[in-house]
Structure 1
Amino acid sequence: MEFYFLPVRKHFGPRKPKKPFVYAKGEAPFEKLLPELWWEVVTYLPTNEMLALRLISKEMEGKIFTLAFKLILPHLPTLHTKLTRSSIQKIHTIASNPELCHIPRAMRVVYPWRYLCPGEKLSAKSEFMQLSLKLPEIHTLMNDLKYSLTNCRSFEICIEATVTQIQAESEYINILLQILAEADINPEQLTFSVPPDRAKILVGASSSNDRLFFHIKEPCNMIRGWPNLHTLKIVDDETIRCGEAVEPAVCQILKEAPCLERLIFSESCKSPVRNRNSLSPLSKAGPFPRLKHLELHSVAVHSVDLLRLLRVNGRYLLSVGFFDCWCHTPVRWEALLWLMKAYMPRLNSFTLQQCGIDRSSRPYTYTYEGPDIGDILGKLRFSLRGLYF
């Protein structure tokens, strides 16, 4: 096989590639490729074609694949898929390789419709039931996760459909959760997220009266899919309401997953001025007796919902962390610490990282682990200049 390079400047068409393009032509054996071009072939081919090159000849096995492996390796810990034939086949290629299959630790799932026009409606019953029940690639992915990608135990489900596609998206998330259960994968970490860049697009395409999400209800037989789940993460946006969308599924998982100990909640906003709070569903659904560790990112610490969440679950918590959290005045922070002292008798770890007062130039950073943490919380004071005892 003979390879040719086509520079960017010689491409024609409305879109130019960002890198030189490598293509094969003719029936010439692979050995005709000049050795000085081997690295360029490895550099400019996408991952799935790079893996396919290994099948060309023994020459590729010994000379090229070692270079390809060095480039593929940094991208393998997290697999990305749109659940299309091509993306699932790419994952299957990695899963079928004994040198690569043990490396992936996480999988990020986005939807096949993420780049469709906002006005295009999709039918959950027709499109997505076919995807889960009729396409053999889905079963290939399930088998790969169960038997080959045995170290892949962290899954992220991105919520980023447009307003007209929300009903289909809710159905689709149910299908994804069902796949995890039916495949007997037993994930250790599950994340629901809204990418910040996508959140801006969704807000611009919706009106103030739109209800952005239908509730995503977890099927009752899926609890058998969570025996090893120890971490649940929600990456929310205050305008998209991811937490509200996944409320039924999240609350059921928190109550019934036998090993779930850590909840991580993040909002993509640092402003303490909020018209609503995404923690409201979680604060009203508790208590969660198995919850031991709580991490809060970019959350308004003066929120009534946050205070309720801490009061209801405080007696179970061993550690609490606040990251990039803000409020209006130092008094709010001190009130929060007094609440923690009163309602968290088992607490032995407390973290503040880049937290502070709105418009303050000196954020708070403080960590304490050990006994008598209640005394520390009672003595810690806040000011615009920093922390002090």
Structure 2
Amino acid sequence: MQDIALNASLSASPETKALPEIKAVPDTMMAAFEEFMEAFESFKDVNDRRLSEIEQKLTADVVTREKLERINRSMDEQKRVIDQLALKKARPALGGAREAGPEAAEHKAAFEAYVRRGDEGALRELEAKAMSAGSTSDGGYLVPDETDTEIGRRLSVVSPMRALSTVRTVSTTVLKKPFALSGPATGWVSETAARPQTTSPQLAELSFPTMELYAMPAASQTLLDDAAVDIESWLASEVDTVFAEQEGDAFIRGDGVNKPKGFLAYDTAADSAWAWGKLGYVATGQAGAFASSGASDVLVNAIYALKAGHRQNATFLMNRRTQGEIRKLKDADGNYLWRPPATAGQAATLMGFPVAEGEEMPDIAAGSLSIAIGDFKAGYLVVDRAGVRILRDPYSAKPYVLFYTTKRVGGGVQNFEAIKLVKFSAS
């Protein structure tokens, strides 16, 4: 990991605490967390000074504003360091991580022979015995279960939407799911009264096709010949981040063409005019900004636009720049609405709800949908087709060996009332 030098050369003043300079990435999560908390205390001091200047002079001093933004950016960098350390800690060792049965061990050995030397014989025999469809005519071989599980685990850590959403694994190319828009009619009757027939529930069929996601890591033959290299761990580490980046973008703003459909790609409507098939939004009252007075009111309205069952499981989703603006907000009693994590590795909170950082969420701009809040487990569905495939290509980029690695993923909104948006517009 490269060292990250954070520009914390802030002009010191008697009223404020300067942000300590960080010369290198802390080697422990606790050290990074302590530096993050120190930065937050500096942030509160400078922001309080900015608000005091606004009250006294109707505007904040330029130096104060610049200092606040530098601290804000430094906090973002420190949080990024903490996230990287948390990700590193969450990655279990792949090789020898658990005992495997004879069949799994045989498959693993055959797969390693294919990746290292291009020896397909053992894999062909195994898949012929199992009558598997994962042959070269289908574009490659299935990776061993350990590798497939490892890629999925790492994606759940890297991609916020995958971690927040419901994930289903299917063996077909499309998942069709019925959804009850309304339950059967009910009512109270006396013990001897006739029971009227109830109406049939209104159902909607939702379709979630899986699309192909691919990565093509390259390796030298020297790397493949090195017996000390855990080839499965290497392959998983090469594809997990690029898969997560593509998925994270698609689950939020994908257009549904050869990729999952992100929740921001669905039609929207003001929450007062919400209808099934659209996501409801609450407007800030000012284009490209929070309202000049009562800025936090829109967040309260968005929270209570959710039904109680979804509200108790709700999470805010926004990017770091939007979160930086929200850090400045206070309630009527002067308390900050945004709170840092209680301990290292946990999420920050906003008005008591956890905050997930999705860098694919749009920046604040006129008409932007920069904040989402909802029960994403109920609201969004990720569909994985079982199996990750790999095709070895030693010819296209000699002297390197390419590994065409593919998986099929789909996604879309499954409950349109479980997610609400904040729109930065007048109405």
TM-score greater than 0.5 by the shorter chain: no
| Structure of higher RCO (CA pairs closer than 8 Å, 6+ residues apart) | 2
Range class of TM-score, shorter chain: under 0.3
> Normalising by structure 2, what TM-score?
0.21
